[in-house]
């Protein structure tokens, strides 16, 4: 089975070119924390990784987010220099798998040349991947051509789908974050991932995505790329075309509308975006050929306006659509310790994609199951009863199948902090917790609160909770 892999650690044969800008490419060392979403009270596992990076203007280093994300200690090293310099993350976009590092000691940049970035790239262009794959300590280069330019799911963020460039140059573990250059030694992309069990099929983050990231951070913060919960489907069936009044091969159907997409309605047919016709398979013309219509959204900034031509009730209308970042009900978290609460020996956490992936659960099924909750502003986050239980007389007979909490003592749960607050402050004699999957658990309030002292000693726990109180106003998936 073919799999896409992040390219953090495999050696390759290399060759050096005297014309390549070796003083512009650095090796990155990162000690990275991996949190345990199945047992969030446990300390994170720390692993050491290496990757590559490119020196760009303003004494900055451009690399992959997956090289440094959640890095507790980061260092960089130049070619032919034994000294390592401490670095910090200045900006990071996990959506685009990109990061910018800052180095306090500016002497690092002496005798280096910042690389330029160009969006001038097309299929069959020759490219050179340059970086530090494992298997050696010196810089390595491989050459190839651009094979495809199309939308692809980025491995680092399971829900990110952006423009990507496929190349046949061998890029392997340790190449991540390194530049891929054209014949003029300008960056056309950043090495990102490879297809496993194939001969030299690799993917890079294209320069157009990099430049969108750069435009995003001009105000000193990361707003992210366009994200919406609105779902569309292609219109390929002739009967459906006739039903919606389509007379050509253009138009895509809106199946489900995000609560925040107030400009759109279910069963709208979008036929063009910014004057570009959208074919029935969701493609538009671009300088890179036929690509997803999302290209017109992803190259803009949050808050920008795009113009849709829509067929609504078989009448054409023009709609100004505001690009937005719509936080999902079940997010994927980065650079964040997972929340948890131990109550009566039962364990609870905010529901994340991270947890569902560890369970190998069907997150899309759960997302569909909970869609009705996205139709109101009342619920912003779901709470899950984790499978792990600390057995105690108070919880005898209770077993969890990773059930999703709906109510506590008849009160609908809005988010994890709300859930914890009810358990901490209720004066009711009993706690009754209800779930999406039906069923309930009942605990005596005082006994459940008092039980942690015994449970803590029995199981060696440090605390009954980790609550991210500051998370309410944080966009956690960039």
Q: Which residues are part of the catalytic machinery? A: 66, 176
DSSP assignment letter at 119: -
Q: What is the C-alpha separation between 248 and 245, in angstroms, rounded?
A: 9
Say if CB 232 and CB 255 are below 8 A apart.
Answer: yes
Q: What is the C-alpha separation between 144 and 125, in angstroms, rounded?
A: 8
Q: What is the C-alpha separation between 274 and 296, in angstroms, rounded?
A: 8
Buried b (16+ CB within 10 A) or exposed e, 406-430: bebeeeebbbbbbbbebbeeeeeee
Say if CB 132 and CB 174 are below 8 A apart.
Answer: yes
- The SS3 assignment for 270 reads strand
Q: Which residues pair with 103 in a beta bridge?
A: 87
Q: What is the C-alpha separation between 74 and 17, in angstroms, rounded?
A: 28
Which structure tokens are listed for 206?
């294209």
Q: What is the C-alpha separation between 65 and 92, in angstroms, rounded?
A: 6
H or E segment to which residue 167 belongs: strand 161-167
> Quick count: other Cβ atoms within 10 Å of Cβ 15?
9
H or E segment to which residue 102 belongs: strand 98-103
In the chain, the largest separation of any two C-alpha atoms, in whole Å, equals: 77
Q: What is the C-alpha separation between 126 and 112, in angstroms, rounded?
A: 25
Say if CB 151 and CB 281 are below 8 A apart.
Answer: no
Residue 129 makes CB contacts below 8 A (sequence gap 6+) with 141, 142, 143, 144, 167, 169, 170, 171, 175, 178, 179, 180, 191, 202, 204
User: Any idea which residue has 């920008």 for tokens?
Assistant: 304
User: Any idea which residue has 């050509």 for tokens?
Assistant: 248
- The SS3 assignment for 114 reads coil
């Amino acid at each position: 089975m073919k799999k896409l892999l992040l390219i953090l650690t495999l050696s390759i044969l290399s060759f050096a070119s005297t014309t390549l800008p070796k003083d512009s490419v650095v090796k990155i060392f990162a000690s990275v924390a991996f949190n345990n979403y199945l047992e969030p009270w446990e300390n994170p596992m720390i692993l050491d990784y290496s990757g590559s990076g490119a020196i760009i203007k303003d004494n900055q280093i451009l690399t992959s987010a997956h090289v440094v994300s959640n890095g507790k200690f980061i260092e960089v090293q130049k070619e032919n220099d034994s000294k390592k310099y401490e670095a910090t993350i200045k900006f990071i976009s996990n959506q685009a798998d990109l990061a910018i590092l800052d180095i306090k000691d500016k002497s690092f940049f002496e005798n280096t040349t910042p690389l330029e970035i160009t969006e001038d790239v097309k299929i069959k262009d020759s490219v050179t991947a340059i970086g530090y794959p494992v298997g050696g300590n010196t810089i390595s280069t491989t050459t190839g051509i651009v094979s495809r330019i199309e939308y692809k799911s980025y491995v680092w963020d399971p829900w990110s789908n952006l423009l990507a460039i496929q190349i046949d140059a061998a890029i392997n573990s340790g190449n991540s974050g390194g530049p891929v250059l054209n014949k003029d030694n300008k960056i056309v992309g950043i090495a990102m991932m490879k297809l496993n069990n194939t001969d030299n099929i690799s993917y890079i983050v294209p320069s157009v995505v990099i430049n969108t990231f750069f435009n995003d951070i001009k105000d000193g913060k990361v707003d992210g790329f366009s994200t919406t919960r609105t779902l569309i489907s292609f219109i390929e069936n002739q009967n459906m075309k006739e039903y919606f009044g389509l007379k050509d091969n253009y138009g895509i159907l809106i199946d489900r509308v995000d609560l925040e997409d107030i400009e759109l309605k279910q069963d709208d047919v979008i036929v063009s975006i910014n004057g570009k016709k959208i074919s029935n398979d969701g493609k538009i013309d671009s300088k890179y050929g036929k690509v997803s219509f999302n290209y017109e959204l992803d190259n803009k900034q949050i808050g920008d306006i795009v113009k849709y031509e829509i067929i609504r009730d078989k009448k054409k209308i023009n709609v100004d659509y505001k690009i937005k970042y719509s936080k999902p009900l079940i997010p994927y978290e980065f650079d964040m310790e997972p929340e948890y609460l131990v109550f009566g020996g039962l364990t609870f956490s905010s529901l994340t994609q991270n947890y569902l992936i560890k369970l190998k659960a069907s997150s899309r099924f759960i997302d569909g199951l909970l869609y009705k909750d996205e139709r109101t502003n009342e619920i912003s986050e779901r709470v899950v009863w984790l499978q792990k239980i600390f057995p105690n007389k108070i919880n005898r007979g209770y077993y969890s199948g990773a059930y999703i909490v709906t109510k506590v003592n008849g009160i609908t749960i809005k988010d994890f902090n709300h859930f914890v607050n009810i358990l901490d402050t209720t004066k009711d004699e009993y706690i009754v917790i209800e779930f999406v999957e039906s069923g309930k658990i009942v605990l005596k309030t005082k006994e459940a609160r008092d039980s942690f002292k015994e449970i803590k000693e029995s199981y060696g726990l440090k605390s009954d909770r980790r609550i991210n109180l500051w998370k309410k106003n944080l966009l956690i998936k960039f």
